[in-house]
């Protein structure tokens, strides 16, 4: 079990009679950014809270560096940092005071607290705000304070629940860059319902739907989950759609604009070869032919309707 930074085995939880997550199994071996993707209410926050020892699961186990979170929570939590959806900050404290408080909660040696606070502030770019009341900071900087408290004890594993929720576009970019920097030295898992978030940040994705794990793979695996079934073709000779439909392997042709068509196919290679041949033979002047990629939204919708893996 120690080979894994995090290992989740047969994790299930229910609220009253309704199951929030069911028989989830996840393993993380190395540093990087891992994404837990799913619609609101899919079960992401439940998994995060159980993983961090905030919620006691109905069944199953969570191991952090081989330590069972349920049986030995204090030792397990020494290896992780947690940022909930809403940053757990105290508006009436200064940044320095709050981070000192967070360091003490982590049972750090008193003589090391001051240095740890300074290092955490510098790491997330808030050193110049050390004497500012947290309540006077913008949402983006409050999020940075939240991240600072999660990394102040230099944990192996950092959990970020919807880390860019409620931020403006500039703040989102800043927090994303910060997460990338942190992931160079730590293992990071983040939850989100935003498709672009996982595409921009994550090396590996797990997708949860109605409490079930429905996808596990790399961002490339995710992008290619649904095999494209159409070609985008540009031809200056402008054939009619009827001519295109008669090409072997083509099942549908739509004119998108002058010279540009969307062509659905039964077999990509056959359709492509025949289109090229016909273009040369009939002078259609083919200038571009590309296989259309499915949008993230299409993949998300398809996976949302999929049963557990």
Give the count of domains, the chain: 2
pTM above 0.75, yes or no: yes
Of 173, 207, 223, which residue constitutes the final position of a domain? 223
Output the pLDDT for position 55.
95
Q: Give the number of other Cβ atoms within 10 Å of residue 225's Cβ.
A: 17
- Per-residue DSSP letters for 73-108? HHHHHTTEEEE-SS----TTSBHHHHHHHHHHHTT-
- For residue 304, what are the CA distances in angstroms to 14, 24, 201, 202, 301? 20, 16, 21, 19, 5
In this structure, the answer to whether residues 74 and 219 fall within a common structural domain is: yes
**Domain containing residue 242:** 230-293
DSSP tag of 33 = E
Residue 135 covered by a domain: yes
Q: What is the mean pLDDT of each run of 10 residues along the chain (309 residues)?
A: 84 93 92 91 93 96 96 95 92 97 93 96 95 95 95 95 90 93 93 87 92 90 74 89 90 90 86 91 92 72 73
Output the pLDDT for position 269.
84
Residue 274 covered by a domain: yes
DSSP tag of 125 = T
In this structure, the answer to whether residues 217 and 235 fall within a common structural domain is: no
In this structure, the answer to whether residues 260 and 217 fall within a common structural domain is: no
Output the pLDDT for position 1.
45
């Amino acid at each position: 079990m120690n080979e894994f930074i995090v290992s989740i085995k047969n994790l299930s939880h229910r609220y009253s009679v309704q199951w929030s997550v069911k028989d989830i199994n996840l393993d993380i071996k190395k540093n990087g950014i891992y994404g837990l993707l799913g619609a609101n209410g899919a079960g992401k926050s439940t998994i995060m809270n159980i993983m961090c020892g905030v919620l006691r699961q109905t069944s199953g186990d969570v191991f952090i560096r081989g330590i069972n979170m349920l049986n030995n929570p204090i030792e397990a939590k020494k290896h992780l940092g947690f940022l909930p959806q809403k940053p757990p900050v105290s508006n009436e404290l200064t940044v320095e005071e709050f981070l000192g408080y967070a360091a003490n909660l982590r049972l750090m040696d008193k003589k090391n607290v001051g240095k740890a606070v300074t290092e955490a502030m510098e790491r997330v770019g808030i050193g110049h705000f050390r004497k500012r009341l947290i309540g006077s900071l913008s949402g983006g900087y409050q999020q940075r304070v939240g991240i600072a408290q999660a990394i102040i004890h230099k944990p192996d594993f950092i959990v970020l629940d919807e880390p860019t929720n409620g931020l403006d576009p500039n703040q989102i970019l800043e927090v994303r860059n910060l997460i990338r920097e942190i992931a160079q030295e730590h293992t990071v898992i983040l939850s989100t319902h935003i498709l672009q978030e996982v595409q921009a940040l994550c090396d590996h994705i797990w997708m949860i739907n109605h409490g079930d794990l429905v996808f596990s793979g790399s961002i490339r695996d995710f992008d290619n989950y649904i095999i494209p079934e159409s070609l985008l073709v540009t031809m200056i000779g402008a054939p009619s759609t009827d001519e295109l439909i008669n090409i072997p392997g083509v099942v549908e042709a739509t004119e998108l604009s002058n010279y540009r068509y969307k062509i659905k196919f039964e077999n990509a290679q056959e359709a492509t070869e025949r289109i090229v041949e016909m273009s040369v033979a009939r002078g259609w002047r083919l200038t571009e032919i590309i296989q259309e990629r499915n949008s993230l939204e299409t993949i998300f919708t398809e996976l949302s309707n999929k049963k557990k893996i």
